[in-house]
Chain A
Amino acid sequence: MTAWTDSAGGRRARAILTSRPFLTLAIVVAVWIAASFASRGFGAYGHLRYLVELGAVIGLVAAGQTFVVIAGGIDLSVAAIVTVSAISLPLLSWQADPTGLASVLAVLALTTAIGVINGLGVALLRVHPMIMTLAMATFLQGLLIIIAGGSAVTAENLLVHWLGNARPAGIPAGILLWIAVSVLVLTLMHATPFGARIFAMGANPLAASLSGVPITSTTLAVYGISGFTAGLAGVLVLGMNGQGYVGIGDPYLLASIAAVVLGGTSILGGLGTYAGTIPGAILLVTITALITVVNASPGWRSILFGSLILGLLLLSGRERARR
């Protein structure tokens, strides 16, 4: 045993094999294999591809959430921002915009601004992130009801439609978008000074500030990113659904936080990676699909979903004691 673990390569291999992202991935694969034996069609390529496509929406929302949680905060307004994005896109359309790109950019600018306002409240007014983002969510929900009322809105936007339905080279555009965002997020998180500041801020804000980390601007950026990725998820969900309505983003609040935590990111901040959130998001849609297969009533589905998330968290290791 020692000969293997002592070599540098062996140590690295062991570090990867025992890491939380890998563990989460292993659980996903195990569940997929078990489920395809239990239920015909579950393991079909088309079905698995569909699961990953659904996971893309959670994965996008959870990308921003991962940043916020690592920085020591939490964003409870992501669901409302997804809805804002899906509903305001049809409202922000111009004749002189045949591809729909301009309105998508306008919506993303809007949701990013909402995130930055969250950041302002947290960094400058020193409102607790939970209160600030929850208040923001409530505010946005009220605004949406006034603007959209109870009716669903339909988007006639080429780009949005393409994102939700096109399959270049057989791969859904939503998955491609998720891959692109994942590469960007992982680079930003682990290969730039900005990413290092976020980890430092989450682990010990006082020490980070005394080391010269600009706390205010970093906080604004982190919540801004969360607003941006939630907005992107809203655009994708609108494309996949064809219609936007109040409440379309609701499932993504718990899902985004669960994906982050299932992926091994510390809810206390300072430790974690988006590489864990990605399998975390896929694991969540897989569970949802399994519960649908079981054919339970909606009440029992929710109960099963909640219990399974708790069980998985216990299984994949709780927060280890710090210091």
Chain B
Amino acid sequence: MTTAPLLAARGVSKAFFGNPVLRDVSIALQPGRVHALLGENGAGKSTLINLLSGALRPDSGTIEVDGRAVARMTPALARQAGIAVVQQELSLTASLSIAENIGIGAYPKRFGLVDYKELAARAKAACKLVGLDEPLSTPVGNLSLGRRQMVEIAKALYRRPRVLILDEPTSSLSATETKILTDLLGRLRGEGVAILYISHRLNEVMALCQHVTVLKDGTRTADRSLEGTDATGLVRLMVGRDPGDLFPKWQPSASPGAAISVRGFSAGLMHDVELDIRTGEVLGIGGLVGQGQEDLLLGLYGAIPARTASATVNGVSGLPGNVPKANALGLAYVPADRKREGLHLIHPIITNMMLPAFARLPSLKLRSRKAEGEKGRGLAAQLSIKGDLQRPAQALSGGNQQKVALAKWMPHDPLVLLLNDPTRGVDVETKREIYLMLRAFAAAGKAVVLLSSDTPELVHLCDRVAVVREGRVVRMLERAALSEEAIVSAAMGAERRKVAA
């Protein structure tokens, strides 16, 4: 190609505290091209984005805009150059409205005051592009994670970017929202926008992107056109070996005994749920994002108020009224948002692992740091969490943080594991480890409830899938009937229309 790339990095290196994170990496974003950036967690993708957007400065190498080297790239310069980044960690302010969040930092002014009329008009246009139809004055805190992600994307579009960088935009999106985004990116590409797209979902990358750069341990292992490449080939480039199957072989281990059984269950958005969770099975919970699935888990866990006509949990009748009671009944919950709900980021990894134990031990029993250290090292070895356990949890990559969020429940040997999207934003290798763990857990006669926004995961891992729409379990798909199409059509209510027609 002869045209100058809109944004490029030439031979950039970056180290944190002496640890090299990127070594001599180059990347060039061409107009009218969707460029995929692949790599496992910790491969250096986020660092590369931060260099491109001026949030970090490279130790060596240069950043170029329109073919000219920029001596000191800063976030302000990047904004001027039309570079917009949609971060993986949402950067929205919960108490501000959708419109205010979208326009923040670039409010249209009139006589020195914010021109709310103009702001509303421009924010509305951006929202329309991503299919956000909520009133613009809705506080962002009231939106589900998936909708917030769409606001984040609208915020980037509001700035009319020439270069759009998306860091795992679809990890919390439903199938419909993903479709809207895919169409939108196709259109932007036609308008000559350069797009850098990061995702752990390879089929999306294959469908959407034209060019790929693969990072592994901070070095570039591939930079080529996606034409003639297949998904297996990509995984090999990322992992450095043959991928094998992502999902473990499914073997039935369900027994007729019910771990949890509820009738007439209502909690939050969910109402009139009849559900039996069997021991030894992985029960999937599917559906579009934000239909009440999370309330189902939280209600069973005693974290939000719930009502039932009748309920039995591990042989005890009645629902646990609060989390400590649920823990005592053998329930454990792993939240979706590990930074806000799952972990104590400023505390050491080991303290995070020990917290459920601290919650249950007698208050005034003396702690033994030695025993805690041994237990922590055992857990870390079991889940291959590397490094010093005294580091704060925020030092870990997303995948490893998720492992810590799981590991902390392991010593309690829970009978029922409630998981809320455990593989969101997690690299392929960690995903595989988590899948193996879940199947092993079910094989040991425990029950696993897996709420997931990743449909293939539901199809390949679960014994049954309960599909939730508008606060109800609308369909219970048995193993034999499981397919991505079946889940998606039940989630969108497509089959009802088919019957009506």
Residues of A within 8 A of B (CB): 187-188, 191-194, 196-197, 199-200, 203-204, 206-214, 221, 270-271, 322-323
A196-B354, A271-B346 known; A210 and B363 CB under 8 Å?
no
Task: Note all chain A residues with C-beta closer than 8 A to B335.
Answer: 207, 210
| 30 A-B contact pairs sorted by A residue (CB < 8 Å) | A187-B366, A191-B366, A191-B367, A192-B364, A193-B358, A193-B361, A193-B364, A193-B367, A196-B351, A196-B358, A197-B359, A199-B347, A200-B347, A203-B345, A207-B335, A207-B340, A210-B301, A210-B323, A211-B355, A211-B359, A211-B408, A212-B323, A212-B327, A213-B358, A214-B322, A214-B324, A270-B346, A271-B346, A323-B339, A323-B345
Is there an interface contact between B360 and A212, defined as CB atoms closer than 8 Å? yes
Which A residues lie within 8 Å of B351 (CB)?
196, 199-200
Nearest CB of A to B17, in Å: 13
Query: Among the interface residues A204, A209, A210, A322, which one has the most CB atoms of the partner chain B within 10 A?
Result: A210
* Cβ contact within 8 Å between A207 and B342: yes
CA distance A197 to B333 in the complex (A): 18
Q: A192-B364, A193-B367, A194-B363 are in contact. Are A209 and B346 (CB under 8 A)?
A: no
Q: Is B324's CB under 8 angstroms from A203's CB?
A: no
Bound CA span A39–B335, Å? 61
Complex-state Cα separation, A204 to B345, whole angstroms: 8
CB neighbours of A270 from chain B (8 A): 344, 346-347
Chain A nearest Cβ from B424, distance in angstroms:
16
Residue of A nearest to B301 (CB): A210
Contacts beyond the supplied A192-B365, A199-B344, A200-B358: 8 A-B pairs with Cβ under 8 Å: A191-B366, A196-B354, A197-B359, A200-B351, A210-B335, A212-B360, A214-B322, A322-B346
Determine if B359 and A192 form an interchain contact, defined as CB atoms under 8 angstroms apart.
Answer: no
A218 to chain B, nearest CB (A): 9
Q: Which residues of A contact B396 (CB under 8 A)?
A: none
Evaluate whether A197 and B343 lie within 8 angstroms (CB atoms) in the complex, with A192-B363, A192-B367 already known: no
Q: Is B96 on the interface with A (CB-CB < 8 A)? A: no
CB < 8 Å neighbour of A209 from B303, B358, B364? B303
User: Which of these, A188, A197, A203, A322, contacts B358 with CB under 8 Å?
Assistant: A197
Partner pick for B303 among A194, A210, A213, CB 8 A cutoff: A210
Report how far A187 CA is from B341 CA in the complex, Å. Answer: 28
Find residues 293-325 in chain B having any chain A CB closer than 8 Å to their own CB.
301, 303, 322-324
Query: Of the candidates A187, A213, A323, which one forms a contact with B355 in the assembled complex, judged by CB atoms under 8 Å apart?
Result: A213
- Shortest beta-carbon distance, A185 to chain B, in Å? 13
| Residues of chain A contacted by B359 (CB below 8 angstroms) | 193, 197, 208, 211-214
B88 contacts the other chain (Cβ, under 8 Å)? no
Q: In the complex, A193→B359 CA distance in Å?
A: 7
B222 contacts chain A at the CB level, 8 A cutoff = no
Please tell me if B394 contacts chain A, counting CB pairs below 8 Å: yes
Tell me, in angstroms, the Cα distance from A207 to B347 when the chains sit together. 12
For B356, list chain A residues within 8 Å (CB): 211-212
Task: Report Cα–Cα, A270/B347, bound state, in Å.
Answer: 8
Q: How far is the CB of B362 from chain A (nearest CB, A)?
A: 7
Residue of A nearest to B322 (CB): A214
Give A270 to B367 CA distance when docked, in angstroms. Answer: 19
**Measured CA separation A209–B366 after assembly (Å):** 22
CA gap between A43 and B342 in the complex, in Å: 52
CB pair B341 A210 closer than 8 Å: yes
Indicate if the CB atoms of A193 and B365 lie closer than 8 Å.
Answer: yes
Closest B residue, CB atoms, query A320:
B346
Tell me whether B324 and A204 are in contact (CB under 8 A). no
Enumerate chain B residues within 8 angstroms of A208, measured Cβ to Cβ. 344, 355, 359
Chain B residues, CB < 8 A from A203: 344-347
Q: How far is the CA of A192 from the CA of B358 in the complex (A)?
A: 8
Residues of A within 8 A of B324 (CB): 212-214
With both beta carbons as reference points, the residue of chain A lying nearest to B359 in the complex is identified as A212
Return chain A residues, CB-CB under 8 Å to B347: 199-200, 203, 270
B361 to chain A, nearest CB (A): 4
Report if B143 contacts A (CB, 8 A).
Answer: no
Q: In whole angstroms, how far apart are the Cα atoms of A212 and B324 in the complex? A: 5
A193-B363 in contact given A208-B355, A210-B303 (Cβ < 8 Å): yes
Q: Which of B326, B344, B364, B394 contacts A207 (CB 8 A)?
A: B344
Q: When chains A and B are docked, how far (Å) is the Cα of A270 from the Cα of B333? A: 22
Q: Which of B136-183 contact A (CB under 8 A)?
A: none
In the complex, chain B residues whose CB is within 8 Å of the CB of A193: 357-359, 361-365, 367
A206 and B364 within 8 A (CB) = no
> In the complex, what's the smallest C-beta–C-beta distance from B422 to chain A, in angstroms?
14
Give, as a whole number of angstroms, the nearest-CB distance from A124 to chain B.
13
Please, which residue of chain B has its CB at the minimum distance from the CB of A196?
A: B358
Q: What's the least CB distance linking B141 to chain A, in Å? A: 13
Task: Give min CB distance, A267 to chain B, whole Å.
Answer: 14
CB of B170, distance to nearest CB on chain A (Å): 24
Which single member of A187, A200, A323 contacts B394 (CB below 8 Å)? Answer: A323
B140 smallest CB distance to A (angstroms): 18
Which 5 A-B residue pairings sit nearest by Cβ, starting from the closest?
Answer: A212-B359, A194-B363, A196-B358, A193-B358, A193-B361
Q: How far is the CA of A322 from the CA of B345 in the complex (A)?
A: 9
| Residue contact A206 to B341, C-beta cutoff 8 Å | yes
